A and B are shown apart, each in its own frame.
Chain A
Amino acid sequence: MGKPMKIRARTDGQVTEVKILMSHIMETGQRKTQAGDPIPAHFIQFVSVTYGDRTVLSAQWGPAVAANPYLSFKFEGGQKGGTVKVSWVDNNGDSRTDEAAIN
């Protein structure tokens, strides 16, 4: 199970801005240890954000995304007090889901 995310969601009445900070090593698979052994790739592959039963963002990521990824986006709609749910799945099958209320 992944480590918790930090999620902020704010609405101005029309547009909701979501800011997410994820905790993940995001290893590219290109690096080697001092002994020369390759460090296996370990990165988030799928990200999805839902508001109620509506998917407001879905993304496929690769190893080019930096460690502890920060993701910010906006979507139309979203009520104060509503819940934004963020999930990710990495290439090892590990996953994490967290949610936050819109304010």
Chain B
Amino acid sequence: MHRLKSCLNAALASAGLTLAVATFGQGTQPMEEIQKYRKMLEEANPAELLELAGADLWATPRGPKNATLERCDLGLGAGKLDGAYAQLPRYFPDTGKVQDAESRLVTCMMTLQGLSFEEATKGWYKRESDLEALVTYVATQSKGHTIDVPATHPHEAQLYEAGREIFWRRSGPLDFSCATCHSQQGRRIRLQDLPNFLDTEDAKASMVTWPAYRVSQTAVWTMERRLIDCIRQMRWPEPAYLSDVVIALQVYLQKTANGGVMQAPGIKR
């Protein structure tokens, strides 16, 4: 019996953190510990390396036209990056579409550099892809800027409504909606707190940290990738990269988070 007990103790000790978290359930104490952990990682965020790589890509001539992206218009004028990410998605008259940072960067890669859509989006879901680096760089240039997505243009308003509908509508084999996880206060999945989009403060706190480095994936995830994976986890049909579904959701989420001050790149579980 004694032997069994010491075995059990050893097993419990090795279970360590997992067990402690399980014991506290969904209380507040683990969250304080997670905050400490995040604080420690704040100045060691590997996303900053990707940001440097993105800055390089931005200014390096590439593609058949051997051009840089420095003339890329992300909504505030050619080459103007300060605060541009905080005002996306928005409607662009030249493409006649509402675009987020990623789809706009792809447009620039196609028009300025002469790359095909396939070339521009190649390996977007892979670690340290060109697009991940570029989005990280562009988003970082909005640090300290306020999210401002009024969605007043008719096309934007239309996508906002669509995004809201998608967010709240339960469907798929699991009868899930985004709101199933994101409309309650103080819940989390494992060590990651889930923002409650009924609460604008919570929505702001979440949206200002994307794109973010995900420790569990050792990669920076863009909002597109985050949303597409959420949709996959809900067992809905997976939307295409840069498709209107993903952009509609972003219009809804960003508008809900209007007024939040950008801190990207964030760091998450």
Contacts and interface: CB of A to CB of B under 8 A. Distances in A.
Interface of A: 3-4, 6, 8, 19, 21, 23, 68, 70, 72
Interface of B: 43-46, 48-49, 52-53, 56
A3 B46 contact: no
A21 B48 contact: yes
B43 A68 contact: no
Nearest to A17: B43
Contacts of B43: 8, 19
Contacts of B45: 21
Nearest to B45: A21
A71 B45 CA distance: 12
Contacts of A19: 43-44
Nearest to B52: A4
A19 B43 CA distance: 8
B48 A6 contact: yes
A101 B45 CA distance: 20
24 contacts: A3-B49, A3-B52, A3-B53, A4-B49, A4-B52, A4-B56, A6-B48, A6-B49, A6-B52, A8-B43, A19-B43, A19-B44, A21-B44, A21-B45, A21-B46, A21-B48, A21-B49, A23-B49, A23-B52, A23-B53, A68-B46, A68-B49, A70-B44, A72-B44
Nearest to B218: A67
Contacts of A3: 49, 52-53
A38 to B, nearest CB: 22
